[in-house]
Amino acid sequence: MTDLLSRLKQALGPKGVLTDASDMEAYAIDWRKLFPGKPLAVVRPANTQEVAAVVSLCKHYGTALVPQGGNTGLAGGAVPDGSGREIVLSLSRMNALRSVDPIGMTLEAEAGLVLKAAQDAAEAVGRLLPISLAAEGSATIGGVIATNAGGVNVLRYGMTRALVLGLEVVLPDGSIVNGLRHLRKDNAGYDWKQVFIGTEGTLGIVTAAVLRLLPRPTQTVTVLVSVADPQKALDFLVCAQNELGDSISAFELISGYSIKLVEQHFGIKCPIEASAWYVLIEAGATLSGLREAVEKALEQALESGLAHDGVIAESGKQAADLWLLRERITESEAKQSKSVKHDVSVPIPTIPDFLQAAEEALAKAAPGTIINCFGHLGDGNLHYNVLIKDHDPVLINHMVHDVVMAMGGSISAEHGIGQYRVAELESRRSEPELHLSRQIKTALDPLNIMNPGKVLSRQGSPS
Ligand code: FAD
Ligand code: 2HG
Ligand code: ZN
C-alpha cells in the first residue's frame, strides 16, 4: 500500500493526494452521515490524464476506487467502505467550464464543475441548463450525470440523461474514451455514453461532458396552491396541463407536515392557509400571455373546488421565497429526526392509492412513525420519508417498497441505489435483469475496482 501511495504522490504531486485523517474527513462520510467510511487516501487529480494514471495504478495494485463529486448523493454511493483500503477519487479540482455555445446550445465542462456554476454560465448567454435541485450549489456535473439526477424540472425537460450530448470517461483499465461531441444527432454506432449515465461510478469515471442547453423562457410564473388531498392535486395537474400545456416545468406535491418542518427549522412562513397538502407549480414561456393563462387556471381550480387557496408570486423574490418552502425540506427533515428515505415512483394515476396503502401499512406495523411526503408529482416520483424513533428501518423500508412494487413502481426514481438500496434492489429485480447488470459490470470492470459494492452487491460482482 505504501508503494501505491508513493506512486500516486509521484503521479499527482503533493496537492493531489491526501492521507491525513483530518484532511480526509469530509470525503469519508455521506451527506446524511449514515455511511461513515475510512479511505486509504483521497486523490484529487487535476486533469483527465491524471485520472487515467490513478486508475492504472489502482488496477495494477487491485485497489478499489470511489469516484466523488460534491458528495451530496443521498444513497451513500460516493463514500468508501470502512476497510481503510479504498481510495476516494475526488473530481473537485477538475472544475473548468470549457465552452458555452448559445447558437449550438451546448455547454462543455469538466466533471467537477458545480451544477450552479454551469446553470449560471448558461444564463449568462441567455440559455437554460434545466437540471435543477436543492443541492445544486454543491452537486457537480459528473455527479449529476453519474446519478442521472432528476430534480424539479424533469416534467418538461427530462432527466439528466436527456441532456447529455457527449462524455469523456476513464475506464477501469485506465484508458480514456473521448466522446465530447457537440451534436444533437449522432447515431454512429452504439450510444456508449448511456452506460455511464446513472451507473453511479461503478463502470468508469466521467471526466468531462457536453450538455444540451435550451431556450430560456423570458417569463416564469410561480404558484403555490393548497389542495385537500393528493387526488385533488392530481386532478389539478390534469387541468393545469390542459390549460398551460408544456409550459409547466415543475409540479411539486408538498405535504402540510413538510411545510411545517420548514417553517419550524428555517423560520419561513407559508403565505397561504394551512392545509394537508400543497402544490407548487412553475411555468415558463417566451410568447406573451403566460401570466393570464396561469391566473385563469388558478381561478378555475378555486371555483371548481380543486384548490382552496393559492398565491401567484408577484416578483422574482416572492417566487424564490415560495421555492425555499420546497427546497429546504430535506435539510429540515435532517434537523428534525432520523428518517427512512424512500425515493419511489409509481404510475401517476396510482399516486393517491399508493399514499393510502402505504399509510395504512405503516399505521399497522410501525405506529408512532411520521410521514414526511413531498416530491415531483408530475413525474410520479414521491419522497416518502418516514421519521422514526426506535423503529426498525429495514422493516419500514421493506414494507413501503412492497406497496410500491404492488403498484408497479420503482424503489429508486432519481437518487439511485448507492449502498443504501443494494439489498432492496437485489430482492426486487428479476434474476435476468440482475444477471444482465452483472454481465455489464464484469465486461467493463473485471477486477471490480470501480466503486465495488455500490448498485450491485460485492457478492454478485466479479471478485
Ligand atoms: P456525489 O454525491 O459525489 O456522487 C454520487 C454518485 O455518483 C456516487 O456513486 C459517486 O461515486 C458517483 N460519481 C460522482 N462523480 C462522478 C464522476 N465524475 N464519475 C463517475 N461517478 C461519479 N437528487 C435528485 O435526483 N433530485 C433532487 O431533487 C435532489 N435534491 C437533493 C437535495 C438535497 C438537499 C441533497 C443533499 C441532495 C439532493 N439530491 C437530489 C441528490 C444529489 O444531489 C444528486 O444525486 C447529485 O446528482 C449528486 O451529485 P454529486 O456531485 O454531489 O455526486
Ligand atoms: C428533493 O426532491 C430531493 O428535494 C431530496 O430529491 C429528497 O430529501 C429527500 O428525500
Ligand atoms: Zn427529488
pLDDT tens column, 390-443: 999 999 999 999 999 999 999 999 999 999 999 999 999 999 999 999 999 999
Interval 433-461 mean pLDDT:
94
CATH topology of domain 97-215: 3.30.465
**Ligand that lies nearest to the alpha carbon of residue 132, given by its number in the listed order:** 1
| Smallest CA separation from ligand 2 atom 10, residue | 383
Top CATH class of 337-418 equals alpha beta
pLDDT tens column, 22-71: 999 999 999 999 999 999 999 999 999 999 999 999 999 999 999 999 99
DSSP label at residue 32:
T
Binding site membership of 29 for ligand 1 (Cβ less than 6 Å)? no
pLDDT tens column, 281-339: 999 999 999 999 999 999 999 999 999 999 999 999 999 999 999 999 999 999 999 99
CA 243 to chain centre: 29
Cell readout for 298 is: 388558478
Residue type, 279: V
The helix/strand/coil state of 264 is helix
Nearest Cα to Cα of residue 342 among 355, 352, 325: 355
Strand 176-179 and strand 65-68: pairing? Answer: unpaired
Binding site membership of 341 for ligand 2 (Cβ less than 6 Å)? yes
| Ligand 2 center to 379 CA (angstroms) | 13
CA-CA distance, 377 to 440, in Å (whole number)?
A: 33
CA-CA distance, 369 to 391, in Å (whole number)?
A: 8
**Which pLDDT does position 259 carry in this prediction?**
98
Whether the CB-CB separation of 91 and 140 falls below 8 Å is answered with: yes
Per-residue pLDDT band for 14 (boundaries 50, 70, 90) equals confident
Domain covering 219-330: architecture:
2-Layer Sandwich (3.30)
Residues of each domain in the chain carrying CATH 3.30.70.2740: 337-418
| Ligand 2 center to 82 CA (angstroms) | 26
Cell readout for 177 is: 474514451
Whether the CB-CB separation of 134 and 330 falls below 8 Å is answered with: yes
Domain covering 2-93: architecture:
2-Layer Sandwich (3.30)
| Ligand 2 center to 115 CA (angstroms) | 16
pLDDT tens column, 64-107: 999 999 999 999 999 999 999 999 999 999 999 999 999 999 99
Residues of each domain in the chain carrying CATH 3.30.70.2190: 219-330
Whether the CB-CB separation of 78 and 30 falls below 8 Å is answered with: yes
Binding site membership of 80 for ligand 1 (Cβ less than 6 Å)? no
**Which pLDDT does position 461 carry in this prediction?**
66
**pLDDT(463) > 80:** no
Binding site membership of 70 for ligand 1 (Cβ less than 6 Å)? yes
Residues of each domain in the chain carrying CATH 3.30.43.10: 2-93
Q: CB-based contacts of 213: which residues, under 8 Å, 6+ apart?
A: 100, 101, 102, 105, 106, 107, 122, 127, 128, 129
**Ligand that lies nearest to the alpha carbon of residue 345, given by its number in the listed order:** 3
**Which pLDDT does position 2 carry in this prediction?**
77
**pLDDT(201) > 90:** yes
Binding site membership of 419 for ligand 2 (Cβ less than 6 Å)? no
**pLDDT(191) > 80:** yes
How far are the Cα atoms of 39, 58, 235, 449 from residue 86, in angstroms, in the given order? 5, 10, 50, 9
Binding site membership of 208 for ligand 1 (Cβ less than 6 Å)? no
Residues of each domain in the chain carrying CATH 3.30.465.10: 97-215
pLDDT tens column, 220-241: 999 999 999 999 999 999 999 9
Binding site membership of 454 for ligand 1 (Cβ less than 6 Å)? yes
**Which pLDDT does position 293 carry in this prediction?**
97
